Amino acid sequence: MKYFEKRPMVLILVGILGISMSSILIRYSTAPSAVTASWRLLWTVILMSPVVLGKKQVRQELFSVEKRTAALSLLSGVFLAVHFWFWFESLRMTTVSSATTIVSTEVIWVSIGFFLFLKGRLSRKAVAAIAVAFTGSACIAFADSGAGGTHLRGDILALLAAIAVAVYMLLGRIVRAKVSNSVYTYLVYIACGAGLVLMSVFQGQGLFVYGLNGILIGLALAVFSTILGHSVFSWCLKYFSPSFVSACKLCEPVVSSILAAFLFREIPGPVQLVGCLLILGSVLYYSRLEEK
């Protein structure tokens, strides 16, 4: 770890590649969305368990969490499960660039929820950034509606995925005031995994019916997108400002779109490209406002 402590930008690049692989790996899954997402979370919990349960201090905190805090953590996990299901489904219906860009508006929805439910404040500049993000989303929807098929429906699912993960983050803001990040994420991932498994069961989709594909894709998502992606970015907050880390996360739609152009021949049209640039620009601007 000393090597990375001296060169944290290396891990920033690893994190960008890790989260950018998510949409690409999902495309290669032949299992239903709920099944693939279930395996991602199950593998994540399996890989986290030795770390969380192996530390006495974390283990003691885990088993002494208040009932209300535990309930909010589990509810947060349910919304994360809904996010994953919408997100995975959207990638089956629309382009990688549209889905990844629209889902990146989560920070906008967090700000709206913070304003409506947690008595937060929105400056005029923040409202302007939100308006630009919605304009960009409208451009993408307009472009995809002309493409026919399920593109527009996929855009809507990506938007719902962004809203669901925003609720997850708002609940996390409340819970994290009382418990450590390790305990919170562990409880959330357990609830999320359980929720996705139940979704699979209710839809009549067995976890082992689709062979090794869903299992291995889930493992790859857990390793690359969760551990080498989101977890690495959390670690990088020790060395970089939140605004810089947030800006780096916005590289995901760009890198994913480039990979999709080579792998799936998905080339964004002019209107779609303008919409993507408007959204990414507004989210980056809003992130900097939050940092200030």
- 21 in a domain, yes or no? no
How many domains does the chain divide into?
1
Tokens 């418990």 label which residue?
A: 179
pTM: 0.89
Q: And the tokens for 253?
A: 């739609």
247 part of a folded domain: yes
Least confident stretch, 36-40, 55-59, 110-114, 159-163: 110-114
Name the residue range of residue 173's domain.
Answer: 29-291
User: pLDDT category, 192, cuts 50, 70, 90?
Assistant: very high
Show Cβ contacts of residue 73 under 8 Å, excluding neighbours closer than 6 positions. 65, 171, 175, 179, 184, 187, 188, 191
Top-confidence residue, 291 or 192: 192
Specify burial of residue 3 (Cβ count, 10 A radius: 0-12, 13-18, 19+).
exposed
**Most confident region among 65-74, 176-185, 282-291 by mean pLDDT:** 65-74
Rounded distance between C-alpha atoms, residue 277 and residue 284, angstroms: 10
Split at pLDDT 50, 70, 90, the class of 40 is very high
Please check whether residue 11 lies inside any domain of the structure.
no
Question: Would you state the structure tokens that stand for residue 226, as one six-digit string?
Answer: 């969760």
User: Does residue 108 sit within a domain?
Assistant: yes
